[in-house]
């Protein structure tokens, strides 16, 4: 009997202890984990500072003249109305929401405008999500993820930035998904330097930018080259704006739909691309003067970014430092586009060519266009440079042995006459965007954590988007 009683007592004690622990756990995951702004905390920053991991910050409609810094893991910032919860930098503050080495932070259903740098910015994080975000009139990027992995940017909108509306850079593998975004009236619709690896840009619209989708390579940042980005099922059209704000690389890329300057091993499939002054889909070199490093060999393309962070980069050896006559100082590195697969796209209405690939061997290294191993199959198009590109370089089949010189891309002509640069503050007067759709049930929807690994995307299930019946771009006014 006594032993039974003892057992029972012990069992009860254990149960009570467990219950007590449960109670503690529960209380920290219910209402105390939701912080209302301004009801509970007067500013978004104060709410963030008070938040513990797991917290949901619910923000009521209002214009908030704040730049919010987040350094707490796993919190969610959510606006109750995407078009009425507005972070406004008044062209004085730098970033709308800046997440620095805080993992798993979710920002959703709000607007950031008039910041001198970025609307929404993640740097050095594992796990991030931006959903139902609107970013416009920001001085660098709209929605910007740098050195960040395991991410998602969806149902979001970027306009009026001189660099890219949406940007994911310096990650490999990025494990990131850009899905159902619209990016217009920027220098670049999408860009990402030295990013890729399970990086998907899908189901999105890039229109009326200076240039549409422009990931690129360069040794001015770590983790080169740009590689293994998948661009599928997007509408890319009329990226010819001469009045959108622009940094210089956007002027260089002007009038191209999908441009891969120095991009490697990317897949561009089933995109609807039309009406560009220059190329619909163009594979071109990115010439970098006074480069910090040479372009790595193919054997190094699989090196994860994490392995490059602490590697000291020695100066380029004198023997490898090639200067180009008339192009002056330093080592010039040509980041060439290699092994890209361009398949099943529909491209039309391009001023120079619907499909184009070209390089120029200014350094005398013997790297010519036919040696870059890019391939083209199943595309619907009219013009290409070189001529008959799909017969010349089909995917998974031998080429017809035709001439790469016939109708070759005039790269110097293509790049040699960029549009004039707009004034630096052009971004401050870009058009007010249309009202954007809200996330469903913002007030009551439970917290959905940020991704923790590579996105699961069935690219075979993504169809070629139909050409919109009305392709007239809204007038670009001020």
Binding site for another protein (CB under 8 A): 21-22, 24-26, 28-29, 54, 69, 71, 92-94, 98, 100-101, 116-117, 123-124, 139, 146-147, 162-163, 170, 193, 218-222, 247-249, 251-252, 287-290, 292-293, 309-310, 312-313, 315, 327-330, 412, 415-418
C-beta of 72: minimal distance to another protein in Å?
Answer: 12
Spatial separation of the C-alpha atoms in residues 95 and 89, rounded to whole Å = 7
Spatial separation of the C-alpha atoms in residues 401 and 392, rounded to whole Å = 6
CB distance 86 to 62 below 8 Å? yes
Nearer to another protein (CB atom), residue 7 or residue 309: 309
Please write down the long-range contacts of 459-464, taking CB distance under 8 Å and 24 or more positions apart: 459/200, 459/202, 459/230, 459/232, 459/233, 459/267, 459/269, 462/202, 462/203, 462/232, 462/233, 462/270, 463/233, 463/270, 464/233, 464/270, 464/271, 464/272, 464/344, 464/345, 464/346
C-beta of 451: minimal distance to another protein in Å?
Answer: 16
C-beta of 252: minimal distance to another protein in Å?
Answer: 4
Spatial separation of the C-alpha atoms in residues 180 and 131, rounded to whole Å = 10
Nearer to another protein (CB atom), residue 256 or residue 272: 256
C-beta of 290: minimal distance to another protein in Å?
Answer: 5
Nearer to another protein (CB atom), residue 110 or residue 249: 249
- Eight-class DSSP state of 418: P
C-beta of 86: minimal distance to another protein in Å?
Answer: 19
Nearer to another protein (CB atom), residue 330 or residue 402: 330
Structure tokens at 21: 């622990």
Q: Is 13 helix (H, G, I), strand (E, B) or coil?
A: helix
- For residue 57, the cross-strand partners are 35, 77
C-beta of 288: minimal distance to another protein in Å?
Answer: 8
C-beta of 25: minimal distance to another protein in Å?
Answer: 5
Nearer to another protein (CB atom), residue 344 or residue 410: 410
CB distance 44 to 57 below 8 Å? yes
Percent helix, percent strand, percent coil in the chain, to nearest 5: 15, 35, 50
Q: Hey, how many other C-beta atoms are within 10 angstroms of the C-beta on 368?
A: 15
C-beta of 337: minimal distance to another protein in Å?
Answer: 16
Nearer to another protein (CB atom), residue 300 or residue 432: 300
Nearer to another protein (CB atom), residue 93 or residue 110: 93
CB distance 169 to 327 below 8 Å? no
Residue for token pair 């209002």: 62
C-beta of 444: minimal distance to another protein in Å?
Answer: 19
Q: Which of 138, 105, 143 has the alpha carbon at shortest distance from 121? A: 143
Q: Is 391 exposed, middle or buried (0-12, 13-18, 19+ CB in 10 A)?
A: middle
Nearer to another protein (CB atom), residue 100 or residue 457: 100
Nearer to another protein (CB atom), residue 190 or residue 376: 190
């Amino acid at each position: 009997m006594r032993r039974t009683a003892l057992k029972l007592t012990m069992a009860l004690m254990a149960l009570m202890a467990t219950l007590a622990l449960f109670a503690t756990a529960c209380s920290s995951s219910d209402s105390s984990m939701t912080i209302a702004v301004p009801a509970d905390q007067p500013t978004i920053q104060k709410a963030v500072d008070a938040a513990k991991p797991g917290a949901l910050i619910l923000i009521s409609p209002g214009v908030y003249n704040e730049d919010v810094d987040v350094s707490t893991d796993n919190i969610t910032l959510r606006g109750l109305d995407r078009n009425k919860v507005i972070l406004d930098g008044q062209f004085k503050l730098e970033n709308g929401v800046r997440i620095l080495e805080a993992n798993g932070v979710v920002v959703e259903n709000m607007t950031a405008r008039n910041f001198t740098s970025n609307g929404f910015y993640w740097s050095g994080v594992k796990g991030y999500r931006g959903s139902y975000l609107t970013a416009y009139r920001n001085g660098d990027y709209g929605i910007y993820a740098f050195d960040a992995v395991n991410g998602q940017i969806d149902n979001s909108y970027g306009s009026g930035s001189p660099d890219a509306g949406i940007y994911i850079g310096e990650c490999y593998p990025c494990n990131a998904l850009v899905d159902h975004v619209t990016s217009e009236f920027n220098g670049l619709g999408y860009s990402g330097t030295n990013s890729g690896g399970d990086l998907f840009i899908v189901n999105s619209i890039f229109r009326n930018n200076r240039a549409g989708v422009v990931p690129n390579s360069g040794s001015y940042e770590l983790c080169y080259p740009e590689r293994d980005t998948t661009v599928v099922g997007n509408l890319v059209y009329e990226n010819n704006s001469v009045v959108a704000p622009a940094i210089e690389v956007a002027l260089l890329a002007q009038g191209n739909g999908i441009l891969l300057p120095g991009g490697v091993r990317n897949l561009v499939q089933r995109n609807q691309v039309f009406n560009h002054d220059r190329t619909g889909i163009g594979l071109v070199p990115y010439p970098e003067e006074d480069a910090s490093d040479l372009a790595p060999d193919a054997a190094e393309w699989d090196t994860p970014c994490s392995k490059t962070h602490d590697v000291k980069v020695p100066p380029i050896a004198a023997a490898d430092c090639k200067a180009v006559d008339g192009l002056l100082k330093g080592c010039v590195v040509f980041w060439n586009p290699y092994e890209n697969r361009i398949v099943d796209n529909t491209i039309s209405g391009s001023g120079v060519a619907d499909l184009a690939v070209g390089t120029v061997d200014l350094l005398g290294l013997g790297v010519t266009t036919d040696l870059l191993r890019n391939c083209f199959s199943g595309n619907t198009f009219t013009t290409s440079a070189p001529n008959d590109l799909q017969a010349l370089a089909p995917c998974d089949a031998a080429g017809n042995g035709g001439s790469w010189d016939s109708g070759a891309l005039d790269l110097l002509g293509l790049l040699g006459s960029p549009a004039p640069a707009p004034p630096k503050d052009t971004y401050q007067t870009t058009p007010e965007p249309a009202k954007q759709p809200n996330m469903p049930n913002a007030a009551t929807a439970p917290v959905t954590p940020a991704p923790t690994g590579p996105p699961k995307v069935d690219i075979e299930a993504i169809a070629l988007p139909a050409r919109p019946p009305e392709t007239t771009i809204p007038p670009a006014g001020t």
